Every structure is written in structure tokens, then in C-alpha cells.
Structure 1
Amino acid sequence: MSSSTNDQNRPRAARLPSYRAAIAMNLVAVVCWAATPTFVKAISRSFPVNFQNFWRYLVSLAVLWPAYLVTADRSHIRADLAEIRRLAWKIVVIALVQYAFQFTYTYSLTLIYPGLMTLVGQTTAIFGVLLAVAFFPDERLVVRDRMFLTGAVFALSGALLVVLGGGSWGGAAFNVGVLSAFASALAWALLGTLIRRWVPHVPPLASISSVFTILVPLFLASYVVTHRGFPIPPAPPIDWVLMVVSGLIGVGIGQSLFYRAVPVIGVATSTSIGLLIPLLATVISWLAFGERLSAIQIVGGFLLIAGSWFVIRLRLSLKS
């Protein structure tokens, strides 16, 4: 049999997008993630936290599993799923951390506005380094570098200015909202650390789809237990539409586009583009809710993003 025939019979790997297309995909993912907090904030008046989490993740699975099946190398799908079954208990632990992230993320948006929340969320870069140092010995070089110390000082100073500079610090709702945003940033950093340590060889879309498959019944069970049944909130139709759209774009489309783009443009470029999220989220929140940051908070936001950029670039440069 000729080599050309063998090539025809061999399962083909998914085609990667061009560099320009991958940049566009990453930008669309960033816009999706920047818009999602505004959707979540808007529907928080109508839906309890875990009710909307349940529906948003259920809707997202309609995108994520098909995206994995379409983009995966067909010859590897069975092996990927077998590996996920073998790592079942680790997948469950990752799902619990994702639950903590999503609950605190959504809950924070019931109390504070999206611009502030996404700025506080940038502290995940610092949390990520601290967790990586604990889990990966090779990461300990990062904390000894002057650039990390500079970035950490910038980020922490910026976070303080963002939190304290708006005049709302001291109010119970504001304080709890900010603490929830910090908790979601920590949970997100822990999530990335566990995925890197436990399932680095499983395609991201496969592992994320598996985690979300566990989360859907978990969110449902939490809502049922908390509310002693499954009451349907009397929300207006527009809020139902926003909830479905937030699940599609924020969790489903955003995740699938991001993981298609990263193999082409690289982590460094993708992460740098991701730093646009707080800026876009603040603009969208201003248009939707009239959210305004004080001059002190804006300065703090720039310091926080700059510090995060220093830390991210340092980690990537030491790995290259």
C-alpha cells in the first residue's frame, strides 16, 4: 500500500487557525469575558447565584463538548476520555475548586460592579505565583527575581488603591463583595495550578468539559438543597435571555475560542491580550450601569495591571 494511501487513512489532527485568525479568536474571547460580568450583574436581581450558575454551565456544555469533538485529533479521543476516567478523583477535586471560583465570582457581582470586580481579579497573577512556588520547585526562581518583587509591589499597591480609593470601603456589602472577588481570584489561580499539576497531558477542552459536566448537577443540587426544591424565579424574559447568552459567550464560546488560539499565538501573547479585560469590563459596565471609578482607583488599576504584566512576563521568560 502506498504512503499516500496510508496518509489518507490516517486520522487527521484538527487544523490550527492562522496566526491572524488566532489573534482574532483571542480578542473575541476577551470581549466575551469582559462582557460576561455585566450580564451576571444585570441578572443578579432576578436569579439566585447557583440557579444562574446551573443554567449558564448547562448551556456552555452545548458548546464545549462539540468544540472538543470537532477540534480534537480523532485518533486520540478515546485515549483522552480513558485518561479522564483514570483521573476521576482529581477531576472531582478540580470541579470543587471551580465551584468555589464560580460561586464567589458570581456572588461578588451581586454586591459590587464589574469594573471593580475584574480589577480585583487581576490579583490572580500574584496568587498564581505563590501557589506555583508551593507546587512546582522550578517556579521558586520567580520569587527571587527583582522583577517579581517590583510587580508584586505594583499589584498590591494598585489593589489597595482600587479597593480603598472609591470611598465605599467600610460598607458591609462592599467589603463582602471585594473579599468574594479576592476569593474568586485565589480559586482561579488554584484551579490553574491543579490543572497544570494533575492533567497537563489532557487537552484543555476535554478536561474543562469533564469538569463542567460534574459542576452542572453540583450547582443544581446546591440550589435544590438551599431552596428546598427547584422554584423557578419570576424573572422577566430579558433576564432569561441574558442568562443563556452569558453562558454561551462567557463560558462556552469564550473558553473554546481561547483554547483554539493559544497553541498558535502562544501563552505570552494570549496573556497580554487578556490584560484588556478590566478596561473593557469597566467601559461596558459604565455603559450599562453608569459605573465610574475615581481617579485614585484608575491609577490603582493601572498599577495593578502593570504589576500583573511584570509577573506574567517574568514567569514566561523563565520557562522559555
Structure 2
Amino acid sequence: MRENHTDSRGIGFLLAAIFCFASVPVFLRHFTGFLDSWTVNGVRYALATCFWLPVVLRTQGKTEAGANVWRDALVPAAINIVMQIGWAMAPYHNTAVVIGFVIRCSFLFSTLFACLLLPVERGVLRHRLFWVGAAGIIGGLTLMYLGSLTAGGTTLLGISILVGTAALWGLYGVLVRQRMARYGAALSFGVVSLYTAVALGGLAFAVGDWRAAAEVSCRDWGLLVVSALFGIAFSHVLLYRAIHILGPVATEGGLAVLPFATALAAVLFLHEKLAALQWLGGVLLVVSCACLISTRYRKSPARNNAATS
């Protein structure tokens, strides 16, 4: 009963994270009309960091003996910085709908990195369904790209940016579980976001056209604030909680429903759409992710022993 209650809490955190993350590609696509990717990154992360800074200051000293959240957050933060650069560049080369579908291949990378870094996850590699799902993801990406050759929506560079970002996202989720599980979700992300905000803010001033932010309308500043809160501050902490309870593989698998929520939002607010071949590739991606997550619950003897020890 207690385990079921814990799983229910994890699923609740995951659903809330899905709601927040679904809006991100739509917001980012909108911002391409008046800000460059470096400035968008710097502004959004600075706003999100300000939200969690009081939590960090209040709780950083309340960790277990020998723990150092600033040290443990260094590697996840480094991965997050590079990932956020790719994430912000993606909307300049892809539509929001394409982003929503292709970024889900992060689940394949999450599984592979989990098997590499977390021994308890390696049992999934023994299941045939895992390899079927992995092949399906590759097939889905191929169909998405082939469909874009005639319908538009992405380019080879755009797909490459998304796949690279997805790989980093998968690694990031595993590192969060491996290195940050002993800390609260708000403290964990608060420290990671501080490192990230400093790096992205520096890049915004060094590379971006940060002066353009002064000309942004009040309405669009409001959207920047909302996207920072829902797309970064809230979503990442909710994701941390889900990862700590459900594990990185199950969490990434649950995020497979995100593309459809993003596609609906993109149709309503940006009037974007996919061609038939792109829809086929997108659906194949999501179904393949479902195949992968099903292997997560076909526990091997090693996983069962780890779960009961």
C-alpha cells in the first residue's frame, strides 16, 4: 500500500511536469520573432533562478553530514548548460510540433545512460522489446526528416540539434538521480539553475543581442516570465521529484505524451501542422517510447533484488 501511494505521488508529479513542459516549444517558437536564442536563454533562466534562490539560501546548510550540494550539482549543471543552448537554438530551425515529437527520443538516451551509470537499470537490455523500441525511434526520426523535405518544419541541422539536445536531456535525468537524490528537489534544481543562469547570462551578454530585451513589449515580457516559471522553475522541480520516485527511465517514458499536448498547443496558438509522413514518424516515436517503458516494469532478477534490499 505504501509503495502504491509513493508511485501515485510520483505519477502526480510527472503529470504536472508534463503540463508545464508541453508549453515550452510553443513559447520558444514565439520568442524567435523578436529575440535571439542566447538572450532568451539568459532572460528565462535568470527569472527562474530568482524564484528558487530564497529556497537555496534557506536550505543549503540543512543537508546530511558530508554532503555538498554545490559540488554534487556541478556535473548535472554542466550538462544542463549545454543542453539549454541546444534547446534554445532548436526553435530557430524547427517548428514547435517537430520539436515536441523529436525531443522524445531523449527516452532512448535516458535508458542507455541509465544502463551505463545505474546498474539496477541494466535488466532492460535483455528484453527484445527494448531493441524493438530503439529501432522504432530511429525509424520515427527518419520519417520525421523525410517528411520535412517536402512539407518543411525542420532541416538536417534542426534534426541534429534536437537529437543532440535529446541525448543531453537523457543524460541529465540520469545524473540527477545519481548525484542529487539525497537533496530536496527545490534545493537540487535551485543550485543547478544558479550555475546554469550564470553561464547562460554570460553568454547572453557575450554573444546575444541583449539590448533587444529592452524593446520587448509588456505582453511579451509577461510571456517570458510565465515561460520561465512554468517551463523552467516549476517543470524541472516537478521532474526532479518524479525522477527520484519513479526513476529516470519510467519518467522519460511518461513524458512520451508530451508531443501530442505540444502539437495541440502549436495548432491553436501558432497555426502549425505536420504532414502525413511527419505524423506517422511522430506516432512511431511515441509508440516506440511506450515499448521502451514497458521493459522498465518487466523486472529482471537483479532489479527485484535491488528493489527489495
TM-score range, shorter chain: 0.7 to 0.9
Unaligned runs of 5+ in 2: 305-309
* Larger Rg, first or second structure (1 or 2): 1
Q: Percent identity?
A: 23
| Cα shift at 1:207 | 1.6
| Cα shift at 1:180 | 0.8
The alignment yields a C-alpha RMSD, in angstroms, of 3.2
User: Where do residues 187-202 of structure 1 align in structure 2 (5 Å cutoff)?
Assistant: 187-202=168-183
**Among 31, 34, 39, which residue is 1:51 paired with?**
39
Q: Give the distance between the partners of 1:263 and 1:246, measured in 2 at CA.
A: 24
Q: Give the distance between the partners of 1:195 and 1:265, measured in 2 at CA.
A: 13
1:294 aligns with 2:275: yes
Match of 2:35, SS? coil
1:231 aligns with 2:224: no
TM-score by length of 2: 0.82
**Among 221, 229, 235, which residue is 2:202 paired with?**
221
Deviation string 1:138-183 (CA, Å, 9 cap, x unpaired) is 4443223201111112221112112212335999x72212111111
Q: 1:267 to 1:96 in 2, by over 3 A?
A: closer
User: Where do residues 75-90 of structure 1 align in structure 2 (5 Å cutoff)?
Assistant: 78-79=62-63, 83-85=67-69, 88=71, 90=72
Kept in 1, the 8 Å contact 2:77–2:193? The answer is: yes
Kept in 1, the 8 Å contact 2:249–2:296? The answer is: no
Kept in 2, the 8 Å contact 1:80–1:203? The answer is: no
Kept in 1, the 8 Å contact 2:151–2:274? The answer is: no
| Cα shift at 1:33 | 0.7
Q: Give the distance between the partners of 2:66 and 2:189, measured in 1 at CA.
A: 15
Kept in 2, the 8 Å contact 1:131–1:193? The answer is: yes
Kept in 2, the 8 Å contact 1:268–1:313? The answer is: no
| Cross-structure match for 1:92 | 74
TM-score by length of 1: 0.79
Q: 1:196 to 1:122 in 2, by over 3 A?
A: same
Kept in 2, the 8 Å contact 1:84–1:207? The answer is: no
Q: 1:280 to 1:81 in 2, by over 3 A?
A: farther
Q: How many pairs does the alignment contain?
A: 296
**Among 103, 106, 113, which residue is 2:88 paired with?**
106
| Cross-structure match for 1:305 | 286
Unaligned runs of 5+ in 1: 1-16
Q: Give the distance between the partners of 2:11 and 2:177, measured in 1 at CA.
A: 24
Q: Give the distance between the partners of 1:23 and 1:196, measured in 2 at CA.
A: 16
| Cross-structure match for 1:14 | none
Match of 1:123, SS? helix
| Cross-structure match for 1:3 | none
User: Where do residues 157-168 of structure 1 align in structure 2 (5 Å cutoff)?
Assistant: 157-168=139-150
Kept in 2, the 8 Å contact 1:40–1:243? The answer is: no
Match of 1:79, SS? coil
Match of 2:207, SS? helix
